[in-house]
Structure formats: C-alpha cells, structure tokens
Amino acid sequence: MPVTFTTRIEEDLAKLIDEVSKEEGMDRSTVIRRFLMQAAKEYLIEKSLAEYEEGKVTLWQAAKRCSMSIWEMIVEAKKREIHVPYDLEEFREDLKGLQKGA
C-alpha cells in the first residue's frame, strides 16, 4: 500500500523535476518516485560495498542485500574501483549462503 510523504525541496530541484517530467512525458510524482528509487538503490550499493571493503560482509552478502547477483555486484565494485579479492575461501562461504537460500 502506498505511503504519502510530504517534504520541501530546493527550487533548483523542483525545476529539474519539472524539466524531466516534461521531457519524459511523466507527471511529477512518477519522476520523484523514480529519482527516490534510483537514489535509494545507489545508497544501498555504496553502503554495502563500503561494508564489504571493511570486511564486515562478504561480497555475496552485499549482493544479496542489494537484490543483485554476485556478478552484478562485482561489476558495481569495479565501477567504483573497489578491489575484489575474491578468493577460494570467500567463494566457499558464498556457496554455503547459496545452499541455505535454496
């Protein structure tokens, strides 16, 4: 069930939303929902990869948290120039996680 949020935004952002709305032929609400979804997903990927770098989660755990495959997460890590030292031990741990999820 949808939830309504009310918030104030800067005038520049309002103009951008109106421009995108006009270009894409969408109403403001649709543009705002898409912006929020994209920003929320990006935030979650960044946070999960930071936790991966810190050794708090495995790459598989980070991918699962973001509803992504491990290969998609590797691509995201490479985009952000995060070294992915994916070794045999981590692979085994990720396989255990896959087996539990099946």
Dump pLDDT digits (tens) for 45-72: 999 999 998 889 988 899 999 999 988 9
Percent of the chain residues topping a pLDDT of 90? 64
- Name the amino acid, one letter, at 72: E
Task: Name the residue ranges covered by the structural domains of the chain.
Answer: 11-101
> Helix, strand, or coil here: 87?
coil
Whether the full predicted model's pTM is greater than 0.85, yes or no, is no
Residues 26/32, Cβ–Cβ less than 8 Å: no
Q: Which carries the bigger pLDDT value, residue 2 or residue 90?
A: 2
pLDDT at 101: 63
- The larger pLDDT score, comparing residue 32 to residue 1, is at 32
